[in-house]
Amino acid sequence: MTTPDSRGDREKVVSKLPSWLRQELKVRAVQHGIDMQDAVEAGITAWRALGSNLSPIDTSGAESFATFLPGRLWTGFRSDCKLRGVSLIQGLAQSVRVWLDSHPAPAVKRPDIVRRVVICNQKGGVGKTAVTAGTGEALAEDSTALVPVRVSKHFAALLEEDQEAANDPLALEDLPGLGQRVLLVDFDPQGHLTKQLGHAPLPMDGDSLTNHMAGDGKSSLSDLIVSIDEDRFGGRLHLLPACTDAFLLDVRLASVRAREAALERALTAVEPDYDVILIDCPPSLGLSMDAATYYGRRRPQEVPGNSGVLIVVQAEDSSADAYELLTSQIEDMRNDLALDVDYLGLVVNHYDARRGYIATSSLQSWMAIKDPRVVGIIGDLKEQKEAVRAKRPLLAYAPRCEQSVALRALAREISK
């Protein structure tokens, strides 16, 4: 069946494909940045040029599949299928397989230097933990599957207070997961990140990150790391759980040589296993924050923006006061130790325009700051709270919810 198409000489053609093969074609076409119809056209052209038939493909359960192809190509393809003694469905499946085999999935890009993202704000309750977990989850999603991502025009719609545009389903784009190997470090003695992801804090009488930072590690730090076992992360998402002994970290660091480098010394041994390490900082401006800032500094030969500080705020006045205190401490570290510390951006969390003028005007104030700039706006919705109650990662609990698609956009924004 063919239907004329107004776009050049192409016609709509309808046949059938197994759903698994169609999905593989859809993902691979996105990975290579081309339309599915162009991939099918290239596959049919290559199949027709073959000197012999390919091994049969199981097309049982094939479902309707429509695309646009040049009319002459489709007519010639139908004739070739008859000459070769294969059904149109089988010929199409083989053509798609030819294209897939000649266009393998691109390898996941690995950073030359492990990326270190320090997620911070000494003000409690702004949602640092949720942003840390969600960003790490978005970075670790399967690169061979498509996930919905909120495109950047969402920011403009929010600023214009146009909720209809902000919720426009066309503002979503299906993109392959990022496939990164991610370590989440719960650097907060309260252990919210650890508990939210369904794990128990490390026991006080055992080993911990605090012990390793103080030079008293009892075993390899890698022995403390646990995996977040959800299929969509494929073993790429790990957690270094918290221990309540971190309440004593500042006291213990006071007697440690080069204490600002203590976190780096502890994590160096596990860095080769990961592409990205995210630090969920405590609500503190003490020595632990100094150590986290130092860890996120730009290293020699590291490109700007590969690592740095990501600040989580809310659209209300007290966040502005806390922000000034935090950036003042970071600037002191920069100047006192001659460090290059990059700001990766601001994340406005728990945003809800229905809260009126304070929320919308505060958002505009954050957007007016150009360094660091706003790189994410995360809504205050029920799915995050439900995921915490279920002790599951948000992107596994509700992968298509508004918060999930916004967190994927944030992960891509800070990965540019």
Report the pLDDT value the prediction gives residue 152, as an integer from 0 to 100. Answer: 56
Of 405, 401, 374, 363, which is closest to residue 385 (Cα–Cα)? 401
Alpha carbon distance 139, 141 (integer Å) = 6
Report the pLDDT value the prediction gives residue 2, as an integer from 0 to 100. Answer: 44
Q: What residue segments make up the domains of the chain, in order of their start?
A: 2-102, 115-413
CB 410 within 8 A of CB 276: no
Report the pLDDT value the prediction gives residue 167, as an integer from 0 to 100. Answer: 54
Residue 225: exposure state from Cβ atoms within 10 A (0-12, 13-18, ≥19): middle
Cα dihedral 114, 144, 36, 405 sign? negative
Superfamily for the 115-413 domain: P-loop containing nucleotide triphosphate hydrolases (3.40.50.300)
Residue 26: exposure state from Cβ atoms within 10 A (0-12, 13-18, ≥19): middle
Other beta carbons within 10 Å of 347: 32
Residue 305: exposure state from Cβ atoms within 10 A (0-12, 13-18, ≥19): middle
Six-digit token string for 212: 């390793």
Of 175, 158, 159, 180, which is closest to residue 167 (Cα–Cα)? 158
Instruction: Give the DSSP per-residue string, 140-208.
Output: HS-TTSEEEEE-THHHHHHHTT-HHHHT-GGGEEEEE-----EEEEE--TT-HHHHHTT-PPBPTTS--
CB 293 within 8 A of CB 250: no
Report the pLDDT value the prediction gives residue 8, as an integer from 0 to 100. Answer: 57
CB 335 within 8 A of CB 314: no
Helix and strand tally (H, E) in the chain?
17, 13
Report the pLDDT value the prediction gives residue 384, as an integer from 0 to 100. Answer: 92
Alpha carbon distance 61, 335 (integer Å) = 66
Report the pLDDT value the prediction gives residue 298, as an integer from 0 to 100. Answer: 96
Report the pLDDT value the prediction gives residue 251, as an integer from 0 to 100. Answer: 87
Report the pLDDT value the prediction gives residue 158, as an integer from 0 to 100. Answer: 52
- Mean pLDDT, 10 residues at a time, over the chain (416 residues)? 55 94 94 94 96 90 95 94 94 97 92 95 87 97 91 54 52 89 95 95 92 92 96 96 88 87 96 97 87 96 96 82 86 91 94 80 87 90 92 96 93 90
Other beta carbons within 10 Å of 369: 15
User: Distance between alpha carbon 374 and the CA centroid of its chain, in Å?
Assistant: 17
- Answering whether pTM is above 0.85, one says yes
Cα dihedral 67, 71, 75, 77 sign? negative
Cα dihedral 299, 280, 317, 407 sign? positive
Query: Which CATH number is 2-102 given?
Result: 1.10.1220
Report the pLDDT value the prediction gives residue 14, as an integer from 0 to 100. Answer: 94
User: Distance between alpha carbon 70 and the CA centroid of its chain, in Å?
Assistant: 38
Report the pLDDT value the prediction gives residue 169, as an integer from 0 to 100. Answer: 47
Six-digit token string for 3: 């239907």
307 — phi, psi (to 5°)?
-135, 165
Paired sense of beta strands 308-314 and 115-120, if any? parallel
CB 98 within 8 A of CB 54: yes
Alpha carbon distance 92, 351 (integer Å) = 48
Alpha carbon distance 305, 345 (integer Å) = 10
